[in-house]
């Protein structure tokens, strides 16, 4: 199979420039700076224009001129040092000296993930500034970080979903070399690195793709603009561009996996699907480097096909985000939240989320005005990523509220236990481990006044649709971004330190208890004991280790019948010293958690108090 690599790559003592422009008659390459010159590129019979030049002392900075237009940056640029409207720069991937040769990745089911925004995670907002915090994350038990998109976007602050150069690494964060340094150090500490990427649309500002080729289609539309042309005329080059992008992040940045944004907005009716092409290329790549590389989908489909192999009609993802778990749990923790999630609100739905995964699996959904989803009962737990919070859950509120700003400290402890004891791969949002209570807003730094106003108005409509009547901050204002930065030092203070200790204990329990290492849902039993409480039992594959957890989401006490010492069970974690004895029963005051085990946990200490 011939693989075309759009972009500029150093090959030995030469640099090869390639750009896909199938309907263009002539493309000229413009060099800037000391090497300033103009060259005409040579076309092949598949719509690619090529040019090879000897390496220069300094990295080439360049533009393309298709049929006399522009010049424009390279659509496959790997570095935009002057932003989305500036020239592209060649990246010498041989210059960085990797030291992670022995790193082969981690099994997906072993991960405790941690989503972070590079700009808001530290005061500096750079890749370099993340590195000193990695050790503390590792000590907490977090062994995988997931970076929100880092491809070049307009300005210096953005969530990253408006990126316009999918192959690039954002200049304000430190560029390609600094991302590699972050990955290299994370691997040294035993931390996998994932990246969130967007291939369902290209952002509006700095988008010059249409000047080169038919990257977009009018057959479909997305909420963010034109859909990518994955199945129409001239789509072969588009499919190559984006399928190569997925392999690129593993090959050149040693990433451990990707999270693909909103795959339900990727449209392809072809007989040989885009996902088959991706899996074909990944299989070849994995054989060549021996590293684990995982794909995670964000999907609105509630479809088990997302994680089925492509050989049986699936998409081949290793896992998908499980929004239904979040929704079912959140409305029990914060009752007003049901206004946002009108189809959730019962303890039975959380029980189903634990036992099956999808809550909506073919039933009528008011939000959608139709039946939605299919059963995921047969999908193993390690094919889902569950969470209590992510960038969307906070940032898509007018006030940017995190869970810690919406519920009590006691409920945060219940939420942490509910997540870590689930049969799914858990993910925390930056600061959640210690109850960070600064907001996380949506922010941008566009330069087009009309686009800025469009973004502001669009956000207002979204908040109104969710019934959120709070006045939202201007996403273009720099203060909106600065207010979203977490306060890392809190993790050593008062209630924050106590919640961090609770989170650490839960993570340790998850990573060491045999019952929590079983991702077969036959090892999960759920008993609804009241309208706001349930009992969760997890069993190991060999049935030799069991764990009971009682979760009370109400403010009222709930009678429970904990397994007795006669059966070998001991209380190993208690969210508060508030159990009340009642003859042979106990009352679990709420909100609260009690966890019993037939084996000793790997941490010292039996109870954690408020």
458-488 tens-digit pLDDT: 888 777 766 667 788 999 999 999 999 999 9
Looking at the fold, whether 61 and 127 belong to one and the same domain comes out as no
- What is the percent of the chain where pLDDT is above 70? 95
Q: Is the pLDDT of residue 413 over 60?
A: yes
CB–CB of 173/125 below 8 Å? yes
CB–CB of 582/559 below 8 Å? yes
Enter the pTM of the model: 0.96
Q: Is residue 266 part of a domain?
A: yes
Residues 610 and 608: their CA atoms lie apart, in Å, by 7
Average pLDDT over residues 493-499: 97
Looking at the fold, whether 361 and 431 belong to one and the same domain comes out as yes
Looking at the fold, whether 69 and 112 belong to one and the same domain comes out as no
CB–CB of 430/121 below 8 Å? yes
Q: Is residue 416 part of a domain?
A: yes
Burial letters 236-253, b for 16+ CB under 10 A, else e: ebbbbbbbbbbbbbbbbb
Residue reference for tokens 């009642």: 582
Average pLDDT over residues 233-260: 97
Among the ranges given (193-207, 233-247, 554-568), the one the predictor scored with the smallest mean pLDDT: 554-568
Domain count, the chain: 2
Active-site residue among 298, 343, 401, 432?
298
Residue after which a domain boundary falls, among 428, 443, 468: 468
Residue in 189, 188, 191, 180 with CA at minimum distance from that of residue 254: 180
CB–CB of 429/490 below 8 Å? no
- Show binding-site residues for substrate: 259-264, 323-327, 391-396
pLDDT given for residue 348 in this prediction: 98
pLDDT given for residue 606 in this prediction: 43
pLDDT given for residue 108 in this prediction: 98
Among the ranges given (81-85, 246-250, 458-462), the one the predictor scored with the smallest mean pLDDT: 458-462
Active-site residue among 205, 261, 265, 432?
261
Looking at the fold, whether 42 and 121 belong to one and the same domain comes out as no
Residues 59 and 10: their CA atoms lie apart, in Å, by 10
Q: Is residue 487 part of a domain?
A: no
pLDDT given for residue 585 in this prediction: 58
Residues 470 and 56: their CA atoms lie apart, in Å, by 55
Looking at the fold, whether 148 and 261 belong to one and the same domain comes out as yes
Residues 31 and 600: their CA atoms lie apart, in Å, by 66
Task: Give the tens place of pLDDT for each residue, 12-61.
Answer: 999 999 999 999 999 999 999 888 999 999 999 999 999 999 999 899 99
Domain at 455, CATH number: 3.20.20.80
Secondary structure class of 581 (helix, strand, coil): strand
Residue 431 tokens, joined: 């600061």
CB–CB of 193/182 below 8 Å? yes
CB-based contacts of 54: which residues, under 8 Å, 6+ apart? 13, 14, 15
Residue 161 CB: number of other CB atoms within 10 A? 21
Given pLDDT bands bounded at 50, 70 and 90, which one contains residue 579?
very low
Strands 294-297 and 524-530: unpaired
298 part of the active site: yes
Residue 77's domain comprises 7-89
Residue reference for tokens 């569950």: 386
Residue after which a domain boundary falls, among 426, 441, 468: 468
Residue reference for tokens 């898509």: 396
Residue 453 tokens, joined: 């106003």
Burial letters 80-116, b for 16+ CB under 10 A, else e: beebbebbbbbbeeeebeeeeeebebbebbebbbbbb
Domain at 45, CATH number: 2.60.40.10
Q: Is residue 446 part of a domain?
A: yes
pLDDT given for residue 577 in this prediction: 56
The torsion angles phi and psi of 189, rounded to 5 degrees, stand at -90, 5
Q: Is residue 351 part of a domain?
A: yes
pLDDT given for residue 465 in this prediction: 67
What's the DSSP call for residue 474?
Answer: P
Looking at the fold, whether 238 and 366 belong to one and the same domain comes out as yes
Given pLDDT bands bounded at 50, 70 and 90, which one contains residue 605?
very low
Looking at the fold, whether 438 and 316 belong to one and the same domain comes out as yes
3-state SS string for 212-235: CCCCEEEEEEECCEEEECCCCCCH
Among the ranges given (203-207, 218-222, 337-341, 441-445), the one the predictor scored with the smallest mean pLDDT: 337-341
CB–CB of 492/136 below 8 Å? no
Q: Is residue 136 part of a domain?
A: yes
Given pLDDT bands bounded at 50, 70 and 90, which one contains residue 603?
low
Q: Burial level of 609, CB count in 10 A (0-12/13-18/19+)?
A: exposed
Q: Is residue 603 part of a domain?
A: no
What stretches of 6-46 adopt beta strand conformation (E)? 7-11, 14-20, 27-31, 37-40, 42-43
Task: Give the tens place of pLDDT for each residue, 108-150.
Answer: 999 999 999 999 999 999 999 999 999 999 999 999 999 999 9
pLDDT given for residue 462 in this prediction: 77
pLDDT given for residue 457 in this prediction: 87
Chain mean pLDDT for the chain: 94
Looking at the fold, whether 290 and 434 belong to one and the same domain comes out as yes
Looking at the fold, whether 77 and 188 belong to one and the same domain comes out as no
SS3 content of the chain, % helix, strand, coil (to 5): 30, 20, 45
The torsion angles phi and psi of 522, rounded to 5 degrees, stand at -65, -20
Looking at the fold, whether 69 and 128 belong to one and the same domain comes out as no
Q: Burial level of 529, CB count in 10 A (0-12/13-18/19+)?
A: middle
Looking at the fold, whether 30 and 154 belong to one and the same domain comes out as no
- What is the percent of the chain where pLDDT is above 90? 87
Looking at the fold, whether 55 and 140 belong to one and the same domain comes out as no
Q: Is residue 194 part of a domain?
A: yes
Residue after which a domain boundary falls, among 55, 89, 123: 89
3-state SS string for 490-534: HHHCHHHHHHHHHHHHHHHHHHHCHHHHCCCHHHEEEEEEECCEE
Residues 74 and 29: their CA atoms lie apart, in Å, by 10
Residue in 419, 459, 466 with CA at minimum distance from that of residue 114: 419
Secondary structure class of 579 (helix, strand, coil): strand
Given pLDDT bands bounded at 50, 70 and 90, which one contains residue 573?
very high
């Amino acid at each position: 199979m011939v693989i075309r690599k759009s972009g500029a790559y150093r090959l030995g003592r030469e640099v090869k420039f390639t750009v896909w422009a199938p309907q263009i008659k002539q493309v000229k390459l413009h060099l800037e700076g000391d090497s300033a010159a103009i060259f005409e590129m040579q076309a092949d019979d598949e719509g690619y224009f090529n040019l090879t030049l000897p390496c220069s002392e300094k990295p080439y900075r360049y533009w393309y001129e298709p049929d006399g237009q522009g010049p424009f940056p390279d659509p496959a640029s790997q570095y935009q040092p002057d932003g989305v409207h500036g020239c592209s720069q060649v990246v010498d991937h041989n210059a960085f000296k990797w030291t992670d040769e022995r790193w082969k990745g981690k099994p997906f089911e072993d991960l405790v993930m941690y989503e972070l925004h590079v700009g808001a995670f530290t005061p500096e907002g750079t890749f370099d500034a993340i590195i000193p915090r990695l050790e503390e994350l590792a000590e907490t038990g977090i062994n995988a970080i997931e970076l929100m998109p880092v491809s070049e976007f307009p300005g210096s602050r953005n969530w990253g979903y408006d990126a316009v150069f999918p192959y690039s690494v954002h200049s304000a964060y430190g560029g390609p070399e600094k991302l590699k340094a972050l990955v290299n150090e994370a691997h040294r500490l035993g931390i996998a690195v994932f990246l969130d990427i967007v291939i369902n649309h290209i952002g509006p500002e700095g988008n010059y793709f249409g000047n080169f080729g038919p990257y977009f289609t009018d057959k479909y539309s997305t909420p963010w603009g034109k859909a990518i042309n994955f199945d129409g005329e001239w789509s072969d080059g588009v499919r190559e561009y984006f399928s190569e992008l997925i392999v690129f992040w593993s090959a050149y940045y040693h990433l451990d996996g990707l999270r693909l944004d909103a795959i339900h907005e990727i449209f392809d009716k072809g007989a040989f699907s885009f996902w088959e092409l991706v899996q074909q290329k990944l299989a070849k790549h994995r054989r060549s480097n021996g590293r684990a590389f995982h794909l995670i989908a964000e999907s609105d489909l509630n479809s088990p096909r997302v994680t089925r192999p492509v050989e049986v009609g699936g998409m081949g993802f290793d896992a998908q985000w499980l929004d239904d778990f979040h929704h079912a749990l959140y409305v029990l923790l914060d009752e007003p939240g049901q206004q946002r999630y009108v189809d959730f609100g019962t303890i039975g739905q959380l029980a189903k989320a634990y036992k099956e995964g999808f809550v909506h699996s073919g039933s009528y959904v008011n939000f959608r005005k139709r039946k939605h989803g299919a059963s995921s009962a047969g999908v193993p737990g390690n094919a889902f990523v569950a969470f209590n919070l992510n960038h969307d859950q906070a940032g898509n509120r007018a006030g940017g509220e995190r869970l810690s700003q919406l519920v009590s400290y006691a409920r945060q402890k219940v939420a942490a236990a509910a997540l870590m004891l689930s049969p799914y791969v858990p993910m925390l949002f930056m600061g959640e481990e210690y109850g960070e209570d600064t907001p996380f807003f949506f922010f941008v730094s566009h330069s087009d006044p009309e686009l800025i106003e469009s973004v502001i108005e669009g956000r207002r409509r979204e908040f109104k649709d969710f019934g959120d009547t709070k006045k939202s901050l201007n996403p273009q204002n720099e203060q909106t971004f600065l207010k979203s930065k977490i306060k890392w030092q809190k993790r050593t203070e008062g209630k924050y330190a106590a919640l961090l200790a609770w989170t650490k204990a839960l993570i340790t329990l998850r990573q060491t208890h045999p019952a929590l290492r079983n991702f077969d849902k036959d090892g999960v039993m759920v008993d609804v004991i009241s309208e706001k409480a349930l009992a969760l039992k997890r069993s190991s594959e060999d049935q030799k280790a069991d764990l009971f957890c009682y979760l009370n989401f109400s403010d009222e006490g709930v009678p429970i019948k904990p397994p007795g010492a006669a059966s070998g069970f001991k209380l190993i974690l208690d969210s508060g010293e508030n159990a009340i004895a009642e003859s042979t029963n106990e009352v679990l005051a709420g909100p609260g958690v009690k966890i019993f085990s037939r084996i000793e946990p790997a941490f010292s200490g039996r109870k954690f108090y408020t």
